[in-house]
Amino acid sequence: MPTVIVNGIEVAIGEKERLNGIQAAERAGVEIPSYCWHPGLSVVASCRMCLVEAGKKDEKTGKIAMQPRLVPACQTPATDGTIFVTNSEKVKNSRAMVEEDLLLRHPVDCPICDKAGECNLQDFHFEYGQKERRADIKPFTSRRRSLGDTVTLFVDRCVMCSRCVRFTREISGTSELMVINRGAQEEIDVFRNDAGEIQFPLDNKLSGNVVDLCPVGALGDKDFLYKQRVWFMRSHDGVCANCSTGCSIKVEENQDRIYRLKPRENPHVNQWWMCDEGRYGWKHVHDSRRVTQLRRREKTGYAPLDWSRFAGELDQKLRQTGRLAAVVSPNLTVEEAYLLSTYIREIDSDALLAVGPVPVEGTDEKFPNGFTIHAEKCPNRKGVEAIVSRLSGGLLNWDDFLARVESEPVGAVWLTGGYHQPWNDTAIAEKFSGVKTLIVQDCFASPLWDRADYQIPAATFAEREGSYVNAKDRLQSFRWAIRPPAGVLTEGQLYWQLLKRPGLYRAAEVLQAVAREITYFTAAMEGVPEHGIDLKVNQLAEPTKTPAIVA
């Protein structure tokens, strides 16, 4: 095993691992500060914050030869016998110098900067900077200009790490951003005409990532700007529900109000990125049009119902109406889909189970680095389909289901929605005219909602708990980030109550049962790690590729 020595600590690294000094030091628990380096982007070694002393230990003689100059750790490969020293006087002085340099023209307007609290410049200056300013004191400047519809640039805060420029060149492949001017006059900008009007705005579908990449407060997200100080927010691991890519995300909220979504590193799904559609795809959660009142249709109109007695009443009703049908929305988690399907089949073993409409917009969009925005705009089609086909012995899609509802007598239909785009119209609602009891569980009113006998307000992705299976059969589990608005009970909790299980809905418990019962989910039996689990991992390889394994 190759061994790297960081400040005297020996760290073993993998035989084929290609780490740089920063990554190797991280293994040894040593932080090497940096601005320009990012694991997902090319190495430019220009910020010079990660300068360290490096050397090599001779394998045979054990002799140590150090390089006379400081080297950037981001650009120095960690191989067997490589030595990094990050705590010498020389290194400390060089970090203090870079910090001092970066603050020469920086406005130091932390009190009004959105990045304050999660700013590398702040943190590193606190840790490695000098204690007083030696350069001339210069009046505060704050020039701001827009780069596109979503991103704004605070010019004077920029430290010229060029991460954003490299992102638009290497990841999104759209190259909107560039460096203009030279030397200390350098600035980030987009192409403009002589009048200063933007000719090619930063408007690619991944543009929001440049704000996350910015190590300082130079790039601001217009949507988040001045909305919340970062230290007030709590961050929850989640999974984006906007398309079947299922990016790992962080949901950042304060007092049950979401302020922003950020990508969470996941090498198997989204690496470090997420698309703008997902990033801003949480607005429906706090939409004032969301339905939050549980109601029952009566002769004179709708009457509000109380949740405490609702489960009992509904259960009784369903057991009396005859043939049952349930439409399981691809917005539900695996666990919720399982609970609902189990419940319905428990009452009526012949019940119709179908998968709700799968919204598709355009075609899949693939970016140069492989990041894909899927056309399928729901998070869990694969998971729900696996549940429904296993529990009903076949897969019934939405269109076929509509045909069956029209032609066959059905006593009660339970529809689950949870879409943030409109998903039914009057014509579809008409098809349910023959249904005796129509139960609609949804976030927003729709023609079907207006026809329902029971209107059950539903939760959104940030309020749910459970697992989604993405387009590549990767199952990721997550917990709720915010509580649902008053009047809304999450689907999982309602189904849990209907199944007369004690206490609160516990998704992990349900997933264990699912894994035991349905082969597709077997891999999730031992629990789901942070980056999710590949459900195809237990399946045999296709015979054309490798010969079958002989036991």
Partner 1 sequence: MKNRCVPLRCTHPTKMPEYQPVLLAQVGKAESHTLRAYEQAGGYQALKKSLKEKTPKEVTEIVKASGLRGRGGAGFPTGLKWTFLPQNHPGPIYFCLNADESEPGTFNNRVLMEEDPHQVIEGLILSCYATNATTAYFYMRAEYPLAWQRMQRAVDECYAAGYLGKNILGSPYSLDIFLHRGAGAYICGEETGLIESLEGKRAWPRIKPPFPAVEGAFRKPTVVNNVETVACVRHIMDRGADWFKSIGVPPDPANPRDAGSYGPKLYCISGHINKPGCYEAPLGLTVTELIDRFGGGVWKNRKAKAAIPGGISMGLLTADEFHCPLDFNGPGKFGCLGLGTAAVVVMDEQTSMVDFLLNSCRFFSHESCGQCTPCREGTSWATKMMLRIKAGRGRLKDLDLLAEIGDTIGIMPGTTICGLADGAAWPIKNCIKKFRPELEAHIKRTNPSGWGETKAVPAMELVGIH
Interface ranges with partner 1 (CB under 8 A): 43-49, 51, 67, 69-72, 75, 93-94, 97-98, 101-102, 104-105, 132-139, 141, 159-160, 179, 181-186
CB of 417 to partner 1, least distance (A): 51
**How many Cβ atoms from other residues are within 10 Å of residue 363's Cβ?**
9
Cβ-Cβ contacts under 8 Å for 376 (sequence gap 6 or more): 243, 244, 358, 359, 360, 471
Q: Which is nearer to partner 1, 109 or 203 (CB)?
A: 109
Q: Kindly state the tokens that stand for 431.
A: 């098809």
332 three-class SS:
coil
Cβ-Cβ contacts under 8 Å for 378 (sequence gap 6 or more): 241, 243, 244, 329, 330, 331, 358, 359, 419
Q: Transcribe 242-301 into DSSP letters.
A: SSTT--EEEEEEETTEEEEEEE--BTTTTBT---HHHHTTTGGGG-TT-----EEEETTE
Q: Which is nearer to partner 1, 104 or 225 (CB)?
A: 104
Q: Which is nearer to partner 1, 53 or 114 (CB)?
A: 53
CB of 31 to partner 1, least distance (A): 19
CB of 120 to partner 1, least distance (A): 13
Q: Rounded distance, CA 300 to CA 306, Å?
A: 18
CB of 175 to partner 1, least distance (A): 12
CB of 86 to partner 1, least distance (A): 14
Asked whether 495 and 343 are in contact (CB, 8 A), the reply is yes
CB of 92 to partner 1, least distance (A): 13
Q: Which is nearer to partner 1, 181 or 363 (CB)?
A: 181
Q: Which is nearer to partner 1, 184 or 427 (CB)?
A: 184
Q: Which is nearer to partner 1, 18 or 229 (CB)?
A: 18
Q: Would you give the DSSP letter of residue 321?
A: S
CB of 252 to partner 1, least distance (A): 30
Q: Which is nearer to partner 1, 34 or 150 (CB)?
A: 34
Radius of gyration of the chain (CA): 28
Nearest to 461 by CA among 263, 243, 240: 240
Q: Which is nearer to partner 1, 97 or 513 (CB)?
A: 97
Q: Which is nearer to partner 1, 97 or 375 (CB)?
A: 97
Nearest to 17 by CA among 34, 4, 28, 29: 4
Asked whether 414 and 325 are in contact (CB, 8 A), the reply is yes
Tokens 């990033």 found at: 279
Asked whether 20 and 74 are in contact (CB, 8 A), the reply is yes
CB of 35 to partner 1, least distance (A): 8
Q: Which is nearer to partner 1, 164 or 507 (CB)?
A: 164
Q: Kindly state the tokens that stand for 58.
A: 């001779």
Q: Rounded distance, CA 424 to CA 515, Å?
A: 33
Cβ-Cβ contacts under 8 Å for 492 (sequence gap 6 or more): 333, 335, 336, 339, 464, 465, 466, 505, 507, 510
CB of 261 to partner 1, least distance (A): 32
CB of 139 to partner 1, least distance (A): 8
Nearest to 417 by CA among 389, 392, 448, 438: 448
Q: Calculate ∠ Cα 366-367-368, nearest 5°.
A: 125
Q: Which is nearer to partner 1, 185 or 544 (CB)?
A: 185
CB of 551 to partner 1, least distance (A): 49
